[in-house]
Amino acid sequence: MSENIPFLKGERIDIVVMNSEHLKIYQKWLNDPDVNKYLRILHPETYEGLKKFWFPDHREYGDDIWFAIWHKEDEKPIGITGLYDVSKHAYRRGHLTLFIGEPGFWGKGLGGEALELIINYAFYKLNYHKVIGEVNLTNTRSLKLCKKLDFIEEGHQKDMEYIDGEWTDIKLLAIFKKDWRNRNSLTK
């Protein structure tokens, strides 16, 4: 068994490099309709498909950055976070992604802790100017979390996803480095 060495350290969770030994649990999460409800998973995920996606033989550095959310007390992965559509040029921005795959850990504030870690990484290690998020309007937990973290609404897209038999809207959100820095200086 390989080690799960923290890349970013939190209070209750760590952000660790995704580990191929955990592919079976990632596959379970992505194929669970309750977990993948807002993930835009349109077809069953296979072990081999996930292996090629997350652990390709060759990937140009900087395309996407994926991490496992590691629960310290239970010593296991409980979700995935990262940045995709990472800007490799002067734009210094990327799209944020996060999901807690273990339903027993929902509603415990661990997603918020993971987002704070990954946003700090984006702004202070990667020197991003902006972090972007897209949240389905029916995903009330994620909307509440983004509001708590002071994301601002940049747009609204109508009928973007088909969830539970209905077309649903997406809220386009963002947070800027200057606002994140100001927010954190006020909370300390």
pLDDT tens digit string along 115-140? 999 999 999 999 999 999 999 999 99
Is pLDDT above 60 for 60? no
pLDDT tops 60 at residue 58: no
Residues 19/23/28/34 CA torsion (nearest 10 deg): 40
Does residue 87 have a pLDDT over 80? no
Residue 64 burial (CB < 10 Å; 0-12/13-18/19+)?
middle
Give a yes or no: residue 175 inside a domain: yes
Task: Report yes or no on 1 lying in a domain.
Answer: no
pLDDT at residue 147 greater than cutoff 90: yes
CATH number for the domain spanning 87: value is 3.40.630.30
- Within-domain flag for 73: yes
For 151-164, the pLDDT digits (tens) are 999 999 999 999 98
User: Residue 169 domain-assigned?
Assistant: yes
Owning domain of residue 63: 6-187
User: How crowded is residue 172: how many other Cβ atoms within 10 Å of its Cβ?
Assistant: 16
The one-character DSSP state at 56 is -
DSSP state of 20: G
pLDDT of residue 2: 54
Residue 53, in any domain of the structure: yes
Q: In whole angstroms, what separates CA 116 from the centre of its chain? A: 11
Domain count, the chain: 1
Residues forming beta bridges with residue 66, ordered by sequence position = 82
| Residue of 123 and 87 predicted with greater confidence | 123
Task: Indicate whether 81 belongs to any domain.
Answer: yes
Report the DSSP beta bridge partners of residue 171: 135, 156
Sequence-distant contacts of 8-11: CB under 8 A, at least 24 apart: 8/67, 8/117, 8/118, 8/120, 8/121, 9/117, 10/113, 10/114, 10/116, 10/117, 11/113
